[in-house]
Structure 1
Amino acid sequence: MQGNLLLAVTVLCIARLCPSVVCGVDPVTCILQGDPQPPTLFKDGDFVIGGVFSIHYYLRTEKNTYIRRPQPLQCGGSMDFRELRFARALEFAIQEINNSSDLLPGITLGYSIYDSCASVPMAIKVAFQLVNGLDLIFNETGSCANSTAVTAVVAESGSTPSISISRLLSPFGIPQVSHYATCACLSDKRQYPTFFRTIPSDHHQAAALARLVKYFGWTWIGAVRSDSDYGNNGMASFLKAAEEEGICVEYSEAYYRTQPHSKLKRVSDVIRRSTARVVVAFLAPGDMRLLLEELSQQPPPPLQWIGSEAWVTDSELLRFNMCIGAVGFAVQRSVIPGLRNFLLDISPEQVLKSSLLTEFWESAFSCSFKRLAGSPSGLPACNGTENLRALQNPYTDTSQLRITNMVYKATYAIAHAIHGTLCTDKHCNKNIPIEPRQVFHQLKRVNFTRNNYSVSFDANGDPVATYELVNWQPQKGGSIHFVTVGHYDASQPKGQEFSLSRSVIWNDGSEKVPASVCSVSCDPGTRKAVQKGKPVCCFDCINCAEGEISNETDSLDCHRCPSEYWPNKDNDKCLPKPVEFLSWDEILGIILAAFSIAGSLVALSMALLFYKNRTSPIVRANNSELSFLLLFSLTLCFLCSLTFIGRPTEWSCMLRHTAFGITFVLCISCILGKTFVVLMAFRATLPGSNVMKWFGPPQQRLSVLGFTLVQVLICVLWLTISPPFPYNNIKHYKEKIILECSLGSAVGFWSVLGYIGLLAFLCFVLAFLARKLPDNFNEAKFITFSMIIFCAVWITFVPAYVSSPGKFTVAVEIFAILASSFGLIFCIFAPKCFIIIFRPDQNTKKHLMGKVPSKAL
């Protein structure tokens, strides 16, 4: 702070001639160097409020030769009628205050209003004059800090000039209240301690603009800004907020009106060539006007303009039809009673007394008060009868009092601060000397309401951020009006700050939101893949991989479905996988069940036939007891295949494998017993052999029981240690679930099969040995053939079982059971049934003993 004060004191002393002494140390006589810049509007008072406005667009420049004194700075170019209205609003506010009996009673406020031409050099010059006053020679009896000519300053319309003014005023404690400087940098109280403003900071506006762009679904935009503190800082805040919202910027260009025209042309060409159809413009009104004029010479494709508050309510820009549908945030529209009459109540005498009002009058009515003969302009003479009320321009337009109200509130804020310094209750003492720093401290505590609009400042000197969303809507007759379509209130909870109250009209005159994206959104079922070397908003849509889905638009990743789910055909939803098993109602299950039942009926029919012919020689000769037991076991073999059909359950899984194993062992045990009987029977016919007494019916029953009990023991151990159980197989097929019976213990399953195979092999060997024994009906031949079929079926079963997918694994197992069962029943019992039914002449003891020549079957 001390460093800033010394810098300001040094600059002040340079501005004045302080011969051989340091200004502010001893009483000296100081002479103001150069010609003073007279204020454009002035009124004396007990306390003077300064005002700085950008009433003209340009600063006249000259080339210095350094051989003569430089000419004073002068404003040039056309007049900004809107800024003139701002300046006169300060006049009006002070007139109201002076006529008020409640605010500063008995005290008169004056004003000293300057034109900065929106330039930093002129802003610095007028800031010096606001501090020093206009006296050419004066005595200095104290420090330079005591020489201020104004109590406070309402300044400035631009952020960059405001920064320059604040740096000069802050060391002297002079408060500055800006009506239009929105740069977020001015909230830094370390650099700009005495700066206040009645307009919200661009920090809030940048966030609001980013949310506005996101709200309408634009992710691919262009950005253009003023190459100034206002534009650069505002755009930096916007770009940061836009990045957080996932918005990509195709280009970000800067331009300032004093830069070469080639720079403006380059910026215009960038806008014309771009693919972004939405342009966010953080521009001062003068810069925006020049840009639109340049674009009008070669209009680009239809663009949707998103504007900052600086230009989006500037009525002078309404003549550019390319901005139809423009949307932007503006300060709230207000009503100031009496202001319109004040602005229009200008007499010719008042006009002639003020060079500023004279210029306004001549420019507004295209006439001249001092018409010279032969003037190239050829303007008619002004006679003072021109009707100002019939004039339509930004000066007379009071339908959109937005920034004007900011000036009005700034003036009243300073008046309230002075009131708080000088007055107690309703008594004010104007003789009390006050310092600007006292007014500065009172401004921090200001809190009042005027015309239903509250005025207060936070710790950063900023007001509460509230905006109206303004839309440039075409009207009947071709005119364009500013229409409020929404609001933004930064004091609301996050996510509730922005709201729309009516439809927006876009650049094509419709209510359909225009599109501005680098890449079309990816539908559910796809994911975004960023294009190499391009922003994240430029992407390709890639279909989700097998087994993955995305159920959101513009999904970054696809997600794998849970193990028991599979994507639908659009890959946007996980559906339960279909469960597959060999069911009763499908064709394969019906066919296998039919064969199973048919096989059991055949076995029962043969058993019935044998029972009816149980006394016949062929039945008695082939061990009728084992034959009946074999037919019973074959019936069970056929029926056990039914347990493999249907939804697997815990009990069905245990039953199907154990029933299969036990019934087949029972079957093979009976065949093995019959084979032993054949072998022993022929050995018993040898002289001196009594082997049949060791293998009579009791021994046959015990052998069958013993062989079967071994299998029962294996099954009991299997079921006890690790039984089969229903299992959802999700590995074999990705898109469906195979409901099958897990073996539990593979050792148990293969032990069951191995034991059956061992008995079958033993039976085959014994039958093979007995195949050539002398007999017209040697059963060993048929047993041998049946065992060949049985072993062939189960040998081929193993690779088929392992390689068959899904429900076909069960079908292969059922087929093996049925094939081997049919092989046994037809090989062993079909020939006997054939003889019983069709060859009863062979069903005799003589024929079986070989005493009758056999006939071919």
Structure 2
Amino acid sequence: MRVQKRISRVFPKFYQHALALVFAVNEINEDPKILPNVTLGFHIYDNFFDAMMTYRTTLDVFCKSHSFSPNYKCDAHKNPIVAIGGLGSDTTFRMDNILSLYKIPQFMYGTYYPEESNPGRVPSFYRMVPTEAPQYMGIVWLLQHFGWTWVGLFVVDGAMGEDFLQTLEYYFSHNEICSAFTQRIPEGANLKFSNEFYKIASEIYSRFMKDIANVFILYGENLTFTWLMTVFYFLGDPHKGTTTLLGKVWIMTTQVDFMLSGLQRHMDLQQFDGAISFTIHSKDPPGFIEFLQNIQPYKNKADGFLKDFWEQAFDCSFPNPGIPTENSCMEEESLESLPDALFEMHMTCHGYSIYNAVYSVAHALHVIDTSRSSHKAILPSKRFELQHLKPWQLYPFLQGISFNNSVGEAVFFNDEREVEGGFDIVNMVTTSNRTFQRVKAGSVHPKDLGGKEFIINEDIIMWHRTFKQMLPVSVCNNYCPPGYQKKKKEGYKFCCYDCEPCPDGKISNKIDMSSCFSCPEDQYSNMKRDGCIPKIKSYLSYEEPLGISLASLAISLSLIKLWVLGIFLKYRDTPIVKANNRALTYTLLVSLMLCFLSSLLFLGKPGKVTCLLRQPSFGIVFSVAVSCLLAKTTIVSLAFMATKPGSRMKKWVGKNVSNSIVLSCSLIQASICTMWLATSPPFPDLDTFSVTEEIILQCNEGSTAMFYCVLGYMGLLAIASFVVAFLARKLPDSFNEAKFITFSMLAFCSVWVSFLPTYLSTRGKYMVAVEIFSILASSAGLLGCIFSPKCYIILFRPELNSKEQIRKR
């Protein structure tokens, strides 16, 4: 087994790809369970990172000569049955141009361009890497998890970069994420220092230094990181040979690897400290690290790559006869001493893909070797040997292959001839000695695994040291604090916005909320509009000062009214009491006392009974009182009309008329109240809207129309009483009450006319207080205007309370 030497310069990290192939082949050849008595061989070729050399080296696989003829078989040369490669999509498809002519299966272990790798167009492809779709969603989920909405994009120029941008921008627009800028990196970036290099490098470095974004996504090829490191190295601080430390978070896709060339061994990786890398899931096969530890140029002399790798990796030279050497390679060097950016002792994702590709071929050959009799259509010869297998005969066996590799993970191809698998989310922690450590911080799975498509453990992530382990923030503007909502900023992307305070009655209790929301009905927003406060239940109670005052006033006026009634009962036989119908006077006094007491129904917590009795009792007793006044003035007017000679009004003067007026007027009001209670009675209710900070416990009137009918009828009686009293105010009589009733009704009407606008403009317990005050004021007006003059005569001027005074008038 010998490896062909085809290169003069090696990127040290790529050498592990060849070693992964060698390790897998050695394992298979030493395993008696797989392909016993069969030895696998291989050839390794390099394309110098050049398109034309890809064709050259691919043709060299089939025919060793100075001239090449595609699709021509050289009899002296044994063709391979499979090919593994290449690392980049451009290399892969250029290889396919030649390999497809010979129908040789091709295992691709690096990046690929989805449109070009359509299985219908390229039937020879077997992809050892999963599709990129989960990676796109993984990037979006990662940004959403940390709240990063303003992200810079560094993308390799070309078809792959454009496809990445189109796909990612689609996901961004549907998940409220914006790209701060898009900076393209030259495709196939090399390290030639030219004017074009400095122009592009300066533009990239300017983006990096000046943009407010703290998160950058890097999508490129395998050498993109190497090229970007050169940009930061020379434009950061070329005199000191270090980059300017600036806290940023780099998110790198699977195609990008932490990798330096031998010439870059002294460059500092700390600018990329804390980077998040999406990598194809991989593990270390047992024995692989020990295999690498035994790699030495003096032990592996058949390896034509090893000396070139060793010289570049360790910056030394192997002695040539007759040529003096300043820095000779010694036997003490080991791969373990190399920085990770030059060479990793753990198997990389590309090495793991190559390892699985070799085992896929071996298992397919093993199936062929152990089941030839069941596949006569494909393998017709009875004396068939694996050495005579044609490449195209391997296809059906590869498609159905399924096995567990040495680390216990299943390997199989889906219908699109790609290996099923997910992506690891790796935190890259750099150190001062130009090495780094990969820390697995999460994963992305292509299928639903019980709601665990995306897993991230942010507690173990080490961010760039300038963040001091605080969560980095990458937004277009500062977050809107609680109490504010986002407002679109004209002329900017939707991720850029202004913050405006929440309107009255609404809150936002989290940062960066799109809109404020209303508090529950039993709560209201605080002054900062960032929380809700429970509303206080409010009603006019007996315990508060206003309730105590109104209750005391009502009871006091009732006692005064009771005292007046006592005076009138004591002096019931005096002329002033007998005048104008003594029974009506007693009825009026009792009804007014009930008016004062009815106001107490409006105090306290509303209940079913109190709500039913409040308005009807108030309306009925007031109607009785006003009806008594109407009867009094009517009787006075009729009495004087009956004194005229030949008048027919004498028959209308008497108690029956007055009683009829009181009863009929009161019954009408009672009928209205009965209809109200029967159709839509009042009931206890909660008012959560009228007063911001309170829940008002109130009596819902049920039917507002019936409520105003009660008030309207009472007003109609009051106006009628006022008109009749006004017309009778000048009739001669010693104890004519018409004047007093006129003033009392004027006061009564004034109170209730002013009551309506005041009642409608207030809310809560103050609305109830207005109604109580109106009841007490109007009742007190009737009491004062009508009975205070009579009480004054009875108590202080008894000489006027006599028949002689009546005769004089």
TM over 0.5: yes
Change (3 A) 1:507 1:771: closer
Separation of aligned partners in 2, 1:241 and 1:797: 64
Out of 276, 288, 293, which is 2:230 matched to? 293
Structure 1 counterpart of 2:474:
516
Structure 1 counterpart of 2:49:
118
Structure 1 counterpart of 2:120:
190
Matched, 1:305 2:254: no
Separation of aligned partners in 2, 1:612 and 1:443: 124
Cα pair 1:225 1:254 within 8 Å, conserved: yes
Report the 3-state secondary structure (helix = DSSP H, G, I; strand = E; otherwise coil) of the residue aligned with 1:829. Answer: helix
Separation of aligned partners in 2, 1:434 and 1:753: 109
Structure 1 counterpart of 2:154:
224
Report the 3-state secondary structure (helix = DSSP H, G, I; strand = E; otherwise coil) of the residue aligned with 1:109. Answer: coil
Separation of aligned partners in 1, 2:217 and 2:70: 52
Alpha-carbon deviations, 1:252-278, whole Å to 9, x = none? 222231494132332232222221111
Report the 3-state secondary structure (helix = DSSP H, G, I; strand = E; otherwise coil) of the residue aligned with 2:180. Answer: strand
Separation of aligned partners in 2, 1:458 and 1:684: 118
Change (3 A) 1:735 1:666: same
Q: How does 1:7-86 map to 2 (within 5 A)?
A: 41-42=3-4, 78-86=9-17
Out of 292, 295, 320, which is 2:269 matched to? 320
Matched, 1:334 2:284: yes
Change (3 A) 1:771 1:201: closer
Separation of aligned partners in 1, 2:542 and 2:650: 49
Report the 3-state secondary structure (helix = DSSP H, G, I; strand = E; otherwise coil) of the residue aligned with 1:271. Answer: helix
Change (3 A) 1:144 1:805: farther
Separation of aligned partners in 2, 1:239 and 1:792: 73
Structure 2 counterpart of 1:380:
326
Change (3 A) 1:834 1:428: farther
Separation of aligned partners in 1, 2:337 and 2:599: 104
Q: How does 1:491-510 map to 2 (within 5 A)?
A: 491=447, 493=449, 495-500=451-456, 503-508=460-465, 510=468
Matched, 1:590 2:548: yes
Separation of aligned partners in 2, 1:757 and 1:485: 82
Report the 3-state secondary structure (helix = DSSP H, G, I; strand = E; otherwise coil) of the residue aligned with 1:106. Answer: coil
Report the 3-state secondary structure (helix = DSSP H, G, I; strand = E; otherwise coil) of the residue aligned with 2:477. Answer: coil
Change (3 A) 1:505 1:428: farther
| Percent of matched pairs sharing the same residue | 32
CA RMSD of aligned residues (A): 4.0
Q: Which amino acid aligns with 2:215?
A: V
Cα pair 2:276 2:427 within 8 Å, conserved: yes
Structure 2 counterpart of 1:20:
none
Structure 2 counterpart of 1:554:
512
Q: Which amino acid aligns with 2:428?
A: W
Structure 2 counterpart of 1:360:
309
CA shift, 1:233, in A, is 4.6
CA shift, 1:462, in A, is 2.0
CA shift, 1:457, in A, is 2.0
CA shift, 1:802, in A, is 4.6
Separation of aligned partners in 2, 1:139 and 1:175: 20
Matched, 1:408 2:355: yes
Cα pair 1:523 1:554 within 8 Å, conserved: yes
Q: How does 1:189-588 map to 2 (within 5 A)?
A: 189-227=119-157, 233-234=163-164, 237-255=167-185, 256=187, 257-258=189-190, 260-261=196-197, 262-296=199-233, 297-298=235-236, 299=244, 301-314=246-259, 319-330=268-279, 331-337=281-287, 340-341=290-291, 344-346=294-296, 348=298, 351=301, 356-363=305-312, 364=314, 366-370=316-320, 379-380=325-326, 382=328, 387-388=333-334, 392=338, 397-424=344-371, 430=385, 433-454=388-409, 455-474=411-430, 480-491=436-447, 493=449, 495-500=451-456, 503-508=460-465, 510-560=468-518, 566-572=524-530, 580-588=538-546
* Unpaired segments ≥5 residues, structure 2: 237-243, 374-381
Q: How does 1:117-156 map to 2 (within 5 A)?
A: 117-130=48-61, 132-135=62-65, 149-156=79-86
- Quick one: higher RCO (CA 8 Å, sep 6+), 1 or 2? 2
CA shift, 1:89, in A, is 3.4
Structure 1 counterpart of 2:22:
91
Structure 2 counterpart of 1:12:
none
Separation of aligned partners in 1, 2:699 and 2:44: 96
State TM-score, norm by structure 1: 0.80
Separation of aligned partners in 2, 1:698 and 1:457: 112
Structure 2 counterpart of 1:701:
659
Change (3 A) 1:385 1:831: closer
Identify which range, 272-281 or 577-586, moves more after superposition: 577-586
Change (3 A) 1:265 1:168: farther
Relative to its length, the structure with more strand (as a share) is 1
* Unpaired segments ≥5 residues, structure 1: 1-38, 43-54, 56-73, 852-857
CA shift, 1:157, in A, is 1.7
Q: How does 1:680-691 map to 2 (within 5 A)?
A: none
State TM-score, norm by structure 2: 0.84
Greater Rg, structure 1 or structure 2? 1
Q: Which amino acid aligns with 1:411?
A: V
Q: How does 1:677-826 map to 2 (within 5 A)?
A: 677-679=635-637, 694-720=652-678, 723-724=681-682, 741=699, 748-826=706-784
Report the 3-state secondary structure (helix = DSSP H, G, I; strand = E; otherwise coil) of the residue aligned with 2:230. Answer: helix
Report the 3-state secondary structure (helix = DSSP H, G, I; strand = E; otherwise coil) of the residue aligned with 1:554. Answer: coil
CA shift, 1:165, in A, is 1.4
Separation of aligned partners in 1, 2:28 and 2:705: 105
Separation of aligned partners in 1, 2:224 and 2:112: 16
CA shift, 1:453, in A, is 4.3
Report the 3-state secondary structure (helix = DSSP H, G, I; strand = E; otherwise coil) of the residue aligned with 1:327. Answer: strand
Change (3 A) 1:391 1:344: farther
Cα pair 1:303 1:507 within 8 Å, conserved: yes
Alpha-carbon deviations, 1:477-505, whole Å to 9, x = none? 78533333444443552641333466111
Separation of aligned partners in 2, 1:757 and 1:359: 114
Separation of aligned partners in 2, 1:516 and 1:428: 68
Change (3 A) 1:601 1:87: same
Separation of aligned partners in 1, 2:549 and 2:142: 68
CA shift, 1:219, in A, is 1.9
Q: Which amino acid aligns with 2:550?
A: L
Structure 1 counterpart of 2:378:
none
Structure 2 counterpart of 1:6:
none
Alpha-carbon deviations, 1:130-176, whole Å to 9, x = none? 2x321458999998999982211111122221122124323432111
Separation of aligned partners in 1, 2:138 and 2:156: 19
Cα pair 2:292 2:345 within 8 Å, conserved: no
Change (3 A) 1:610 1:169: same
Report the 3-state secondary structure (helix = DSSP H, G, I; strand = E; otherwise coil) of the residue aligned with 2:111. Answer: coil
Change (3 A) 1:356 1:630: closer
